[in-house]
Amino acid sequence: QSALTQPASVSGSPGQSITISCTGTNSDIGVYNFVSWYQQHPGKAPKLIIYDVRKRPADVSNRFSASKSGNTASLTISGLQAEDEAHYYCSSYTSRSTLIFGGGTKVTVL
């Protein structure tokens, strides 16, 4: 099963907003709300920042928001900060009872 499709890289200046897309199919994102997003800094484990399409864990900044439309999920980072520079991955449950991840997006703060 192919990975969910994410842009390889996205960049923005401090204070700006950026959006990362994650495109799947009607066997995963299109039919399930089990969509999560992760932030991963170099050499570190992934950290959950969004679950159930748009919910934030208590320790995650409200500068992170997310949504879903059809087969595509999106993550928006508002008020971009230097500490947001990292890789971001989406993930979804699938109709085969498996999980699938996106290819990852490198966010660069200019």
Residue whose CB is less far from another protein, 86 or 100: 100
Judged by the rule CB under 8 A, the positions of this chain that interact with another protein are 1, 3, 32, 34-36, 38, 44-48, 51-52, 57, 89, 91-93, 96-104
Lookup result for tokens 């192919």: 2
In the complex, what is the shortest distance from the CB of residue 86 to another protein, in angstroms, rounded to a whole number? Answer: 13
Residues 80, 52: Cα–Cα separation, whole Å? 23
In the complex, what is the shortest distance from the CB of residue 16 to another protein, in angstroms, rounded to a whole number? Answer: 26
- The number of beta carbons lying within 10 Å of the beta carbon of residue 81 is 13
Residues 85, 67: Cα–Cα separation, whole Å? 21
Residue whose CB is less far from another protein, 1 or 17: 1
